[in-house]
């Protein structure tokens, strides 16, 4: 068992410079972030500030060009099932049913068939898709597809769920419902979530801590603890104060440069 006193994710001075077509882009400079088990952390910032880059480094899709990215105190060696990624465009296999999409991970890792079946049914129930178990992704709404994507990551025994603007393509009502469902899942399972968004309200509604990033090069500018009781009231004065404060910080990154 991993030692729960050790941070589950630990980014120490993480930098990333991409080289493509002879050009270097400094996407991330010196990011320090510690995520403890069971935390819900949101990365918030304008386009291009390195949110996806930081998430992809945590996933193991990218290696840092400077600093260290650790999970349970060990360098992240590459992608692995303990860090499941959920994308805005779902990333489901279109030729598989809901059931087979969710079972794909445990099955390909050689879990016994009976165990896979049990796991799949448990997670289908957890995300409320029993009636759609035999449907294919094209038969589902966006919200349902995102539930399948979340169930698939959980069925694969993810300890950390990495979500890159997962609700960005959904209409406002579906998005709000999925935010509630995600918080409910998080509370019931003790998952650790690292969630990218550029929506201030979404970050305040969801997170224990909001990590404000700024561009040019991407940096972590501030980390704000959100200690409002859940379920959070988006119309409360305290919520509004946070919204104003974060908006001012976010928009300061777009301030026109003095001539």
Ligand X SMILES: Nc1ncnc2c1ncn2[C@@H]1O[C@H](COP(=O)(O)OP(=O)(O)OP(=O)(O)O)[C@@H](O)[C@H]1O
Q: Is 176 exposed, middle or buried (0-12, 13-18, 19+ CB in 10 A)?
A: middle
Give the start-end residues of each E strand in the chain. 9-20, 23-35, 40-44, 66-71, 74-75, 83-87, 160-164, 192-197, 209-214, 219-225
Cα 128 to chain centroid, rounded: 21
Among 198, 230, 243, 253, binds ligand X (CB under 6 A): 198
List the x/- string, 199-238, binding to ligand X by CB under 6 A.
Answer: -------------------x--------------------
Q: How many residues bind ligand X (CB under 6 A)?
A: 14
107 vs 197 by CB, closer to Mg ion:
197
Which C-beta is closer to ligand X: that of 129 or that of 193? 193
Per CB under 5 A, contacts with Mg ion among 28-67 are 52
Give the span between the Cα atoms of 34 and 70, in whole angstroms. Answer: 9
| Part of the chain binding ligand X (CB under 6 A), chosen from 19-27, 66-74, 172-180, 240-248 | 19-27
Q: In terms of CB distance, is 7 or 218 closer to ligand X? A: 218
Residue 47 touching ligand X (CB under 6 A):
yes
Q: In what order do the strands lie in the sheet with 9-20?
A: 23-35, 9-20, 66-71, 74-75
Q: In angstroms, give the least distance from the CB of 38 to ligand X.
A: 25
List 51, 111, 219, 224, residue binding ligand X (CB under 6 A): 51
Quote the least distance from Cβ 53 to ligand X, whole Å. Answer: 3
**How many Å apart are CA 205 and CA 203, to the nearest integer?**
5
Using CB distances below 5 to 8 A depending on partner kind, what does residue 25 bind out of Mg ion, ligand X, none? Answer: ligand X
Q: Whole-number minimum distance, CB 202 to Mg ion, in Å?
A: 14
Please list the alpha-helical segments (H only) found in 156-233. Answer: 172-189, 200-206
End-to-end CA distance of the chain: 57
Binding residues for ligand X (CB under 6 A): 18, 20, 25, 27, 45, 47-53, 198, 218
């Amino acid at each position: 068992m991993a030692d729960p006193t050790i941070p589950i994710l630990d980014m120490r001075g993480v930098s990333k410079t991409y080289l493509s077509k002879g050009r270097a882009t400094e996407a991330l400079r010196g990011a320090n972030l510690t995520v403890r088990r069971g935390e819900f952390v949101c990365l918030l910032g304008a386009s291009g500030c390195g949110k996806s880059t930081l998430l992809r480094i945590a996933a193991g899709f990218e290696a840092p060009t400077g600093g260290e990215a650790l999970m349970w105190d060990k360098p992240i060696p590459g992608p692995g099932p303990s860090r499941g990624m959920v994308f805005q465009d779902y990333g489901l296999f279109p030729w598989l049913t809901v059931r087979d999409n969710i079972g794909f991970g445990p099955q390909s890792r050689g879990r016994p068939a009976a165990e896979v079946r049990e796991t799949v049914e448990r997670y289908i129930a957890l995300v409320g898709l029993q009636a759609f178990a035999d449907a294919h992704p094209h038969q589902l709404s966006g919200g349902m597809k995102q539930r399948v994507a979340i169930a698939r990551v959980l069925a694969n025994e993810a300890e950390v769920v990495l979500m890159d603007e997962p609700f960005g393509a959904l209409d406002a009502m579906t998005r709000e419902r999925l935010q509630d469902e995600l918080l409910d899942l998080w509370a019931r399972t003790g998952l650790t979530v690292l969630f990218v968004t550029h929506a201030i309200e979404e970050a305040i509604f969801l997170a224990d801590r909001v990590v404000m990033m700024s561009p040019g090069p991407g940096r972590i500018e501030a980390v704000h603890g959100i200690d409002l009781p859940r379920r959070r009231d988006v119309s409360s004065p305290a919520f509004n104060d946070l919204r104003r404060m974060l908006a001012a910080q976010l928009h300061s990154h777009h301030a026109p440069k003095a001539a």
